Structure 1
Amino acid sequence: MTIKQELLDDLEKRRKQASFFGGQERVDKQHAKGKMTARERLDTLFDHATFQEWGMHVEHGCHDFGMEKKVLPCDGVVTGIGQLDGRPVASFSQDTSVGGGALGQRHAKKICDLMDYASHCGLPFVAINDSGGARIQEGVDALSGYGQVFYRNVVLSGCVPQIAVIAGNCAGGAAYSPALMDFLIMTRENANMFICGPQVIKAATGVDTTMEEIGSAAANASISGNVHFVAENDDHALDLVRDLLSYLPSNNVEDPPHAPTPTISLELDESMNEIVPADSKGSMDMYDVIRRVVDGGVFLEVHQQFAQNMIVAFARVDGIVVGVVANQPKVKAGTIDIDASDKAARFIRFCNAFNIPLLTLVDVPGFLPGVQQEQGGIIRHGAKMLFAYSAATVPKITVITRKAYGGSYLAMCSRDLGADVVLAWPTAEIAVMGANGAVNILYRREISGAEDPDAKRKELTDEYHARFASPYMAASRGMITDVISPAATRGAVSLALRNTLRKSETRPPKKHGLIPL
């Protein structure tokens, strides 16, 4: 017995209605702004024709305030599972052409059902946000829906990677779901993210401001640090999602997508020796070091526009995925400040949660001094780095290139914080403080009483460096695994990664550590 044709026709009619968004006029308006529709974003993200939709026929459940006569296809959100480079990924895309993409009870249920499935099956979760916020007509039910989404964001945290794309409006309470996720990607145009808009701020505080100052991609990426990547448009944002996921496992019980090369790059890179300035006071560009260590000079930098004195990025070394944490001497001399501490600590904890080895490149003169830093809690924020590195049980490889002074030396994954392999260049200076400062404190009288104070200071500085700051001094005490030439760095790092990939470390049983937040 064949199925009746009228049933097939009815099915096709319903599918077309659900797929038509909020009407052609609204779709045209989105396209005129350079925005994709909800389904276009999902079709672009996933491998061709692999998206399996969930809840296409869900309708809103509000029958007050005239809503009973409104048709909201899919209740304003498209949810489902697609294949991305051959592996399943859960995703939703809010449809701003349908009721402004506002979240109601059933809209939230669709998202929550998908998140539960991602949790049970160990799938990465991608949220494409373009919504006017809570659906006013549904009152507390809409607020409850947000609460249920937030709860699941926390349940998924550390279990599967969570990536949020801010492709339109994301205001008020709606901003907290992306904030609870691992990575935020925001389009430069057509998107905003804030808790209180300019009008609310003006009414509450009397301060005039603009959306550009508080809610734009630039403000969220460079000032507040809420956003990790800024995309030029929807296409670029989805490319970033794919690129990011290419470095990540699907869940916390899998290894990253390592693809070890058959041979290890042991040849010397003599150009690395030219990176180090002849003058120890000169600034070195750590990007030059990273490009020479990682495969093809290719890496995906995270939080590029925020706290630029600290670099964090994903890369590969002879096919092994690594998370790179590095000081950038060209910005604030590479000192660690409040924002740099937060940036690094968050990245370290993500890498540890998803089994990604950590490669730390060190050139740090200390924590940034200043009244604002002290009053802002540099002690508390800096302690986050100490905590994150100490808690991390993944392979930890550290390379000390030049300066490594005081507490900042420890904070950049010293042997004492559990580094498995610590390599140092001959140019490394490892000490409580720089030789010049130490000599001025320790030998002030001898210098002032000398016939030639400058010559005496240089003599004592050289002696101090040889006795107390040389990498060989640290190596003699077992704090350095080996002193290597800069030219040998890539090969030494690659070997260290291969030798530590099977690392297994058990810590005392507990619910969780209490990181200084």
Structure 2
Amino acid sequence: MPISPALLKQLEEKRKIALLAGGADKLAARKKKGQLNARERLEALFDHGQYMEFGMHVQHDCHEFGMDTKSMPGDGVITAIGYVDGRPAAAFAQDFTVGGGALGKMHARKICDLLDYAQQSGMPVIGINDSGGARIQEGDDSLSGYGQIFFRNVLLSGVVPQISIIAGPCAGGAAYSPALTDFIIMNKENAQMFICGPNVIKAATGEDPKLEQFATATAHASISGNIHFVAENSKHAFEITKKLFSFLPSNNVMDPPHQAAPTLDLSPDPEMNNLVPSDPKDAFDVHQVINRLVDNADFLEVQRDFAKNIVIGYGRIQGIVVGIIANQPAFKAGCLDIDASDKAARFIRFANIFNIPIVNLVDVPGFMPGLKQEQGGIIRHGAKMLFAYAAATVPKITVIMRKAYGGAFLAMCSRDMGADMVFAWPTANIAVMGAEGAVAVLYKKEIETASDSAAKARELAEVYREKFASPYEAASKAMITDVIEPAETRAKLAMALRATLSKRETRPPKKHGNIPL
């Protein structure tokens, strides 16, 4: 017996209510401002604009809390599964047209159900945040909802990649869910993220800050380091998401989406020999090296505007997905400081979770000296890099381009810190400190008594470099796998990556190590 027309009409009307969200006027107002609504965002995110929605008909009536009865279609959030870059993914988009996208009991329930499904199915999660915060009229139910989401963010951490897109306001407790995810992409337009707004800060401290100083994408990208990518708008955010997806596995038991070439190309790249100055004091941009190492110069840099003295990001080397960590001599001479250590350590740990090999490009004069660094806990922060590298069991391959001094040499993944292979260029210098500093300490009297102390210091520095700091000295002690010509680097890395992809390493059984947070 066919379904009755009355039931079909009822279904059509219910769907129409859900699709209208906060109403035609509010949807039109967003369109006039050039803003996508929640459903349009999911259509832009998922391949071919297709997705399967969860909980379309969920609602919550505010009259239960002493408020006037108000229909809230979908309870202010759309949850769905679909395909991103050809692979299954789960996503939610908060709907600002419905109660300002504020989070209430059923709103949180929908997100939690989606996160549970993603965990069980092993699929990545993308959250599109655009919310006025907690739904005040629901009182502690809203707080409980946030807690349930936070708990699941932590459960999913290390199981599936989690990506947050900040497409509108994300204030107060709402900001902590994105902070618990792996990557945050924030729009330049119409997006703010903060715990306390300007008025609260002023009332509590007397300071009178502007949102531009701490709540915008630019501020988070360059000052606080809270976000990983800046998007011009929502469409750009989805482009970044799909690009990021192209390098990541769907979960922690899968390999990254390698596209290994059928045969290795071991031909040299002579241009590499001309990129790096032989004088360790001369700066250069390490992006020039990275772009020649990765396939088609296709490198997705992460946290580009934060802690610029270290560069992190994803690429492929002859089809193998890699995470690259490189000192940047063009900024702060490539020193490791508090922010650079934090930036690198978290990147290492993510790569280890999701089976992504790590390539390290080293040109580091040491840890950043200074009172602020010492008082700020450079010891603790620098230890995060040591911990992260030592704990990582994925393939780790290090290339020492020039300077590798002191504890920073170890912190950039030396052989002793677990590197599977370490290559050095002839320009490499590996020592406790730079040659000039070393001879100043070791040969102080000899320099002072020389007729030309400056010339004597230079002479001794050259001797020190040759005798104690050359890559051949380190190679003679098996600290280096091989000394190679820069032109050979891409070929050597390609071979090393293929050789280590089958690497399996077990560690003593334990819940987890105690990283120095």
TM-score bracket, normalised by the shorter chain, equals: over 0.9
Runs (4 or more) in structure 1 with deviation over 6 Å come to: none
Name the counterpart of 1:334.
Answer: 334
Name the counterpart of 2:293.
Answer: 293
State the alpha-carbon separation in 2 of the partners of residues 7 and 443 from structure 1: 94
Task: Say yes or no: does 1:43 pair with 2:39.
Answer: no
Q: For 1:354-393, what per-residue CA distance to the aligned partner results, in whole angstroms no more than 9, with x for missing partners? A: 0000000000000000000000000000000000000000
Alignment of 1:47-446 (within 5 A): 47-64=47-64, 67=67, 69-446=69-446
What secondary structure is seen at the aligned counterpart in 2 of 1:81? Answer: strand
Bigger Cα displacement from structure 2, 255-264 vs 374-383: 255-264
TM-superposed CA distance for 1:506, in Å, is: 0.3
The one-letter amino acid paired with 1:196 is C
State the alpha-carbon separation in 1 of the partners of residues 57 and 110 from structure 2: 11
State the alpha-carbon separation in 2 of the partners of residues 177 and 49 from structure 1: 26
Q: Is the 8 A contact 2:126 2:162 kept in 1?
A: yes
The one-letter amino acid paired with 1:137 is Q
Q: Percent identity?
A: 64
What secondary structure is seen at the aligned counterpart in 1 of 2:312? Answer: strand
TM-superposed CA distance for 1:444, in Å, is: 1.0
Q: Which runs of 5+ in 2 are unaligned?
A: none
Q: Is the 8 A contact 2:337 2:382 kept in 1?
A: yes
Alignment of 1:475-494 (within 5 A): 475-494=475-494
Q: Is the 8 A contact 1:301 1:311 kept in 2?
A: yes
Bigger Cα displacement from structure 2, 360-369 vs 33-42: 33-42
State the alpha-carbon separation in 1 of the partners of residues 196 and 78 from structure 2: 27
State the alpha-carbon separation in 1 of the partners of residues 504 and 278 from structure 2: 41
What secondary structure is seen at the aligned counterpart in 2 of 1:52? Answer: strand
The one-letter amino acid paired with 1:209 is P
State the alpha-carbon separation in 2 of the partners of residues 203 and 458 from structure 1: 59
TM-score, normalised on structure 1? Answer: 0.99
What secondary structure is seen at the aligned counterpart in 1 of 2:333? Answer: helix
What secondary structure is seen at the aligned counterpart in 2 of 1:69? Answer: coil
State the alpha-carbon separation in 2 of the partners of residues 501 and 439 from structure 1: 43
What secondary structure is seen at the aligned counterpart in 2 of 1:48? Answer: helix
Q: For 1:162-220, what per-residue CA distance to the aligned partner results, in whole angstroms no more than 9, with x for missing partners? A: 00000001000000000000000000010000000000001111111101111111111
State the alpha-carbon separation in 1 of the partners of residues 43 and 69 from structure 2: 30
Q: Is the 8 A contact 1:64 1:137 kept in 2?
A: no
Q: Is the 8 A contact 2:85 2:245 kept in 1?
A: no
Q: Which runs of 5+ in 1 are unaligned?
A: none
State the alpha-carbon separation in 2 of the partners of residues 67 and 300 from structure 1: 49
State the alpha-carbon separation in 2 of the partners of residues 33 and 215 from structure 1: 21
The one-letter amino acid paired with 2:308 is Q
Q: For 1:384-403, what per-residue CA distance to the aligned partner results, in whole angstroms no more than 9, with x for missing partners? A: 00000000000000000000
TM-superposed CA distance for 1:40, in Å, is: 0.2
The 1:79–1:262 alpha-carbon spacing in structure 2 relative to 1, beyond 3 Å, is same
The one-letter amino acid paired with 2:362 is V
State the alpha-carbon separation in 2 of the partners of residues 280 and 503 from structure 1: 34
Bigger Cα displacement from structure 2, 59-68 vs 318-327: 59-68
The one-letter amino acid paired with 2:348 is I
Q: For 1:52-88, what per-residue CA distance to the aligned partner results, in whole angstroms no more than 9, with x for missing partners? A: 0000000115434554520111000000101113211
What secondary structure is seen at the aligned counterpart in 1 of 2:48? Answer: coil
What secondary structure is seen at the aligned counterpart in 2 of 1:250? Answer: coil
State the alpha-carbon separation in 1 of the partners of residues 443 and 391 from structure 2: 39
Q: Is the 8 A contact 2:321 2:357 kept in 1?
A: yes
State the alpha-carbon separation in 2 of the partners of residues 51 and 317 from structure 1: 33
Q: For 1:429-450, what per-residue CA distance to the aligned partner results, in whole angstroms no more than 9, with x for missing partners? A: 0000000110111111111111
Q: Is the 8 A contact 1:61 1:105 kept in 2?
A: no
State the alpha-carbon separation in 1 of the partners of residues 452 and 203 from structure 2: 66
The one-letter amino acid paired with 1:449 is T
State the alpha-carbon separation in 2 of the partners of residues 156 and 280 from structure 1: 44
State the alpha-carbon separation in 2 of the partners of residues 164 and 4 from structure 1: 43
The 1:69–1:343 alpha-carbon spacing in structure 2 relative to 1, beyond 3 Å, is same
State the alpha-carbon separation in 2 of the partners of residues 431 and 424 from structure 1: 13
State the alpha-carbon separation in 2 of the partners of residues 290 and 79 from structure 1: 38
Alignment of 1:491-510 (within 5 A): 491-510=491-510
Q: Is the 8 A contact 1:423 1:483 kept in 2?
A: yes
Q: Is the 8 A contact 2:77 2:107 kept in 1?
A: yes
The one-letter amino acid paired with 2:11 is L
TM-superposed CA distance for 1:22, in Å, is: 0.8
State the alpha-carbon separation in 2 of the partners of residues 400 and 504 from structure 1: 25
TM-superposed CA distance for 1:21, in Å, is: 1.6
Q: Is the 8 A contact 2:61 2:69 kept in 1?
A: no
TM-superposed CA distance for 1:6, in Å, is: 1.2
Q: Is the 8 A contact 1:304 1:311 kept in 2?
A: yes
State the alpha-carbon separation in 2 of the partners of residues 427 and 244 from structure 1: 34
Q: Is the 8 A contact 2:62 2:70 kept in 1?
A: no
Bigger Cα displacement from structure 2, 377-386 vs 440-449: 440-449
RMSD: 1.0
State the alpha-carbon separation in 1 of the partners of residues 494 and 329 from structure 2: 24
Q: Is the 8 A contact 2:61 2:70 kept in 1?
A: no
State the alpha-carbon separation in 1 of the partners of residues 300 and 34 from structure 2: 25
State the alpha-carbon separation in 2 of the partners of residues 26 and 169 from structure 1: 17
The one-letter amino acid paired with 2:180 is L
Q: Is the 8 A contact 1:33 1:190 kept in 2?
A: no
Q: For 1:125-160, what per-residue CA distance to the aligned partner results, in whole angstroms no more than 9, with x for missing partners? A: 000000000000100001000000000000000000
Q: Is the 8 A contact 1:34 1:233 kept in 2?
A: no
The one-letter amino acid paired with 2:471 is P
The one-letter amino acid paired with 1:106 is M
The 1:49–1:369 alpha-carbon spacing in structure 2 relative to 1, beyond 3 Å, is closer
What secondary structure is seen at the aligned counterpart in 2 of 1:223? Answer: helix
State the alpha-carbon separation in 1 of the partners of residues 350 and 49 from structure 2: 32
Q: How many residues are paired up?
A: 517
What secondary structure is seen at the aligned counterpart in 1 of 2:139? Answer: helix
TM-superposed CA distance for 1:35, in Å, is: 1.6
TM-superposed CA distance for 1:25, in Å, is: 1.7
State the alpha-carbon separation in 2 of the partners of residues 516 and 35 from structure 1: 42
Q: For 1:195-252, what per-residue CA distance to the aligned partner results, in whole angstroms no more than 9, with x for missing partners? A: 0000000111111110111111111111000010000001000111111111000000
Bigger Cα displacement from structure 2, 258-267 vs 311-320: 258-267
The one-letter amino acid paired with 2:10 is D
State the alpha-carbon separation in 1 of the partners of residues 414 and 112 from structure 2: 42
State the alpha-carbon separation in 1 of the partners of residues 464 and 306 from structure 2: 36
